[in-house]
Structure formats: structure tokens, C-alpha cells
Structure 1
């Protein structure tokens, strides 16, 4: 099953959603800003992406700058920050089975379809 972690207020996320709609395959939308995301789910996504947690952080967000920038953080601390402040998560993220991409640009979604 394909899942898109989507923020409707983000143009890049809307582009990813539109691409999935055009593909015509079934998919699930997770509005993680409203619904939240568990630490386990986020950790699983980061593992599938094959990146360090800090690489999924939107480091220009005010909450990051005010609360986390220039601090010594473990990977666990970074994940906790994203769970507590889901707007820090880069978007959109699309998962298909055991593969995932940060869909920036949206065409990257096709790599995992």
C-alpha cells in the first residue's frame, strides 16, 4: 500500500498528492500535522529512507531555530523533536511497501512505484 505523509498547506506536498492521483493507484493520505506521528512510525520511515534523522528536519522552521539549533542532539533527540513538532518533518514523504522517498520534487515518487 502506498502512503503519503501530507501537509495540505504545503505546495510540494500538494504536488506529490496530485502525482499519486494521476497514477491511479490506491493510496492512503496521512495528515501527520493534524493526526500526529508515532516515534515508531517515524523511526521506520527514516530507516526506509536510509538517512540520518537530521536529514528529515526542516531546519529553517522557527520551532527548530528557537528550540533545537546549535544544540548537541542525538538521533533519538531529533526524532523526539519531530514527533513533538510534526511541522519539522520534511514533506511530503511517500512510502510504498518497504521503500520511501522524500518527494521533492514530486517525480521522485515514481522511483518507488
Structure 2
């Protein structure tokens, strides 16, 4: 089943959700600020996206700039930072079986649904 890691306050995330709704396909909405992904889930997301954990971080968030920006963090520390501060997780993330994308631009979601 298709999953979207969604933040309703984000325009890009709302656009991604609308695209999935228009597709007519079944999907699950995961409000990741309320249901924070586990370490294993984040590691799997990074693996599916074929990126490093740092590439999943929203580096313009105030908490990143104030608490993490100039530190040399390993992958585990970056994942822990996202677990403890889920606002740092890039959005929307759409997963369809073994494929995943960050929906920026929104149209990229169409490549996996």
C-alpha cells in the first residue's frame, strides 16, 4: 500500500496528498509529527530513498540551525535528531512498496504510483 508521511501545515505535503487523492489509489496517511517514525522506520525510509540521513533533514529549520548545524554528526545521531525533532524530517515522503520519493516537486510522486 502507498504511504505518505504528511504534515498538513506544509503546502508541498498538502499538494502531495491531493495528488494521491486524485489518483484514486488506496493510500495511508502518516502524520509523522504526531506518530514519529521509529529509528528502524527512518533507516528504512533512507534506504528506500537511496540517500544519506542528512539528505532527509530540513536544514533551514530553526532547531537544526541552533542545535545541530555546525556539529559533525554520524548517521545514527542525525536519525536520533529527526526522531527527537520530527519537524526536521523532509516532507512529503511517499512510499509505494520498495520505491520512495520526497515529493519536491510534487509531480515526482507520479513516478512511483
| Partner in structure 1 of residue 28 of structure 2 | 28
| Partner in structure 1 of residue 81 of structure 2 | 81
State how far apart, in whole Å, the 1-side matches of 2:61 and 2:14 are.
19
Could you list the structure 1 runs, at least 4 aligned residues long, displaced by more than 6 angstroms after superposition. none
Structure 1 residue 36: Cα displacement: 1.1
Greater fraction helix: 1
| Partner in structure 2 of residue 44 of structure 1 | 44
| Partner in structure 2 of residue 7 of structure 1 | 7
State how far apart, in whole Å, the 1-side matches of 2:35 and 2:72 are.
29
> Deviation digits for residues 30-58 of structure 1, max 9, x if unmatched?
00001111010011000000001100100
Q: Does 1:105 align with 2:102?
A: no
Q: Would you say how many aligned residue pairs link Structure 1 and Structure 2?
A: 113
State how far apart, in whole Å, the 1-side matches of 2:35 and 2:53 are.
20
- RMSD between aligned alpha carbons? 0.5
> What is the SS of the residue equivalent to 2:78?
helix
TM normalised by structure 1 equals 0.98
State how far apart, in whole Å, the 1-side matches of 2:46 and 2:79 are.
9
State how far apart, in whole Å, the 2-side matches of 1:16 and 1:48 are.
18
> What is the SS of the residue equivalent to 2:4?
strand
> Structure 1 stretches of 5 or more lacking a match?
none
> Structure 2 stretches of 5 or more lacking a match?
none
